[in-house]
Amino acid sequence: MKELKSFSLLLARVSVFSLGLAALGGCVATQGIQSEQGAGAPVTDNITIEVEQEPVRSFEPETVYDLLVAELGGQRKRYDLALGNYLKQAHKTRDIGVAERAYQISMFIGARQASLDAALLWAELAPDDARALQASAIELVRDGQLDRAVDQMRKALDLQGEANFDFLASSAAELSEEDRDRLLQTFDVILKEYPDHRSLKLGKAILLQQAGRNEEAMQLADQLLQRDPEYVKALILKGRILNKLGRGDEAEKMLADAVDKHPDRPRLRLLYARVLVHLNKLDEARVQFEELLKQSPHDVEILMSLALIALENDMLDRAETYFNRLLKLGQRKGTASYYLGRISEKKGHLKEAEAYFRNVPPGKEFMRAQVALVQLMLSRGRLKEARKHLDEARNRYPVHAVQLYMLETEILVGEAKYNEALDVFDAAVLRHPESINLLYARAMVQEKLGKLDALEKDLRAIIKLQPENAAALNALGYTLADRTDRHKEALELIEKAYALDNEDPAIMDSMGWIQYRLGNLEGALKYLQQAYERFPDHEVAAHLGEVLWMMGRKEEAIALWDKALKQKPESEILRTTRERLEKQAKSQGNGKAASAPVVSKP
């Protein structure tokens, strides 16, 4: 078989991932405008590494075959196959072009370990190429090898290359605080050698922003803008910092002017649009996103932002159009289907809405879609069908089984079908015996059915699995305090819960209630007042009012109950507490205050 020439000539004959990597346009784009705004997001539009023509050389037939298979795999979205072949041949041939392409593919599919491998090989084969050194430095930072990364960037600086320290810093977003501080110290050392290198100074500013040292980062950004008021990367960083500091109006003004001067810088416009969203100027933000969409008509994040803004402004038809475009692109199927279901529901197209909700795959929006679908069925009196759907969904998507069991039992509890709910819980716990959520929820249903022994068994099972589960400790302690005379036990449990979370109003309420049951009215009053201040709930109001009543402060108790009843007129505990205490007062004589309950002492 006749040998072929250089790999770069091979690339000229075969389209590179026409359905996938073609988006790279002959370069590796390490970040696009779709990246989320944040401390770690690069401040550049696209950091690109251009593909250069390598000197002509020959390849063995096996190499040619592997590379052709890789190209076909890329076209068919078999990126794993493509990457595997490229990496294999990069190491075998030690060809710069093959190594560079292997890095591009690994970056495109987010294969971190492969990216490190390919970048290091590329830098080894092309030690005088600043682009290769930069790529290897970025991957070394992501891998936590900071010293080696900085060495590579120093080499790039020595070559007089455009060393993108800003992107290196952005790659450090996931580092620990200790590692980031170490990288900052290294930046300071290199800055002494290259005090005027703006990318290095910008990189330090990004690291400071990541560390929450926004004012220091702002000072560096201002220094860079004093030297070059049109330095777009510094404008972007300053805009982010202003927005983070709550100075959105300043960010808006600065970015509006910058976008007018640099209309072709998508990341700058994207930040401006997001600042407008943050300021709730949704119409103005929509204009900017639409301009971005003209520049990048298939950009998923821009389409999503436009769809959500349109939905927020009740522009249902426009939102529907954007979400449908996402579906046609095969992107964000779950989110798009969920919101299309919501839009159809608003329009009264309930059959379409159900179909969209059913099409939401497992993922971020899956359970929201299941809840919406079930609510839709219940609103039309289809409880039996809703339960059947949930049973089928559990079998189809076992990873969501516990959540789907919880949803079904929530429906039954809402219908006061406690025995049926308990049957479902029993089946669920049989399959998932260590599910904390199922055990806790079943315990709450057993409390409603008066099955205190079963409640205690479930809560103690949770405590055995998670000895520091404050919610379970509190629930068991409160139940023992309220429904039994085991007050010493109750106090121990509630005190453990309080030691774990002394800011939880529910635990404060339990602390107050056990003190009341032990006859310590002053202690009870302190905790219950704290609980009510943090969470003015009708049950806390019932407890606090009872303590006030028992202390002879009946007018305060009545005023509190009246206020709580206005907010929760259907509250059973408020009604029964008041009736019980008023009846008790009458039986003892109107002029005599009721005494505290006779209870056991700790």
- Asked whether the predicted pLDDT for residue 123 surpasses 70, the reply is yes
Q: What is the pLDDT of residue 41?
A: 52
Is residue 17 within 8 Å of 74, Cβ to Cβ?
yes
Looking at residues 462-474, what average pLDDT do you find? 96
- Asked whether the predicted pLDDT for residue 20 surpasses 50, the reply is no
Helices (H), 329-484: 333-346, 350-358, 366-379, 383-396, 401-414, 418-431, 436-448, 452-465, 470-483
Least confident among 1-15, 75-89, 538-552:
1-15
CA separation (Å) from 154 to 132, 150, 194, 204, 333? 13, 6, 10, 15, 44
- Asked whether the predicted pLDDT for residue 86 surpasses 80, the reply is yes
For 27, list phi and psi in degrees, rounded to 5.
Answer: -145, 165
Mean of pLDDT over the chain: 84
Spatial separation of the C-alpha atoms in residues 180 and 217, rounded to whole Å: 14
Maximum average pLDDT range among 189-198, 258-267, 505-514: 505-514
Question: Model confidence over 350-383: pLDDT tens digits?
Answer: 999 999 999 999 888 999 999 999 999 999 999 9
Q: What is the pLDDT of residue 165?
A: 75
- Asked whether the predicted pLDDT for residue 17 surpasses 50, the reply is no
- Asked whether the predicted pLDDT for residue 43 surpasses 60, the reply is no
DSSP state letters, 77-108: T-HHHHHHHHHHHHHHH--HHHHHHHHHHHHH
Long-range pairs of 180-184 with CB within 8 A, sequence gap ≥ 24: 180/207, 180/210, 180/211, 181/211, 182/146, 183/141, 183/146, 183/150, 183/207, 184/208, 184/211
Q: What is the pLDDT of residue 57?
A: 55
Q: What is the pLDDT of residue 590?
A: 53
Helix (H), strand (E) at residue 121: helix 112-125
Question: Model confidence over 382-405: pLDDT tens digits?
Answer: 999 999 999 999 999 999 999 999
Looking at residues 332-358, what average pLDDT do you find? 95
Provide the 3-class DSSP secondary structure of residue 467: coil
Grade residue 58 by pLDDT with cuts at 50, 70 and 90. low
- Asked whether the predicted pLDDT for residue 25 surpasses 70, the reply is no
Three-state SS for 503-517 is CCHHHHHHHHHHHHH
Cβ burial, residue 237 (10 Å; 0-12/13-18/19+): buried
Q: For residue 479, how many other CB atoms are within 10 A of its CB?
A: 22
Looking at residues 217-233, what average pLDDT do you find? 92
Cβ burial, residue 598 (10 Å; 0-12/13-18/19+): exposed
For 551, list phi and psi in degrees, rounded to 5.
Answer: -90, 5
Q: What is the pLDDT of residue 170?
A: 80
Name the nearest CA neighbour of 267 among 46, 523, 5, 525: 46
The two beta strands, 48-50 and 27-29, are: antiparallel
Share of the chain above pLDDT 70, in %: 87
Grade residue 306 by pLDDT with cuts at 50, 70 and 90. confident
Q: What is the pLDDT of residue 485?
A: 94
Spatial separation of the C-alpha atoms in residues 328 and 349, rounded to whole Å: 21
Share of the chain above pLDDT 90, in %: 54
Q: Which amino acid is at 601?
A: K
pTM: 0.63
Task: Give Cβ neighbours of residue 80 (< 8 Å, ≥ 6 apart).
Answer: 73, 109
- Asked whether the predicted pLDDT for residue 35 surpasses 90, the reply is no
Question: Model confidence over 156-199: pLDDT tens digits?
Answer: 777 765 567 777 778 777 777 887 888 888 788 888 888 888 88
- Asked whether the predicted pLDDT for residue 569 surpasses 50, the reply is yes
Name the nearest CA neighbour of 328 among 303, 357, 294, 355: 303
The DSSP 8-state label assigned to residue 128 in this structure reads T
Q: What is the pLDDT of residue 434?
A: 94
The HSE-up count of residue 143 (CA atoms within 13 Å, CB side) is 20
Q: Domains of the chain by range and CATH? A: 504-588 (1.25.40.10)
- Asked whether the predicted pLDDT for residue 554 surpasses 60, the reply is yes
Looking at residues 466-490, what average pLDDT do you find? 96
- Asked whether the predicted pLDDT for residue 289 surpasses 60, the reply is yes
Q: What is the pLDDT of residue 162?
A: 58
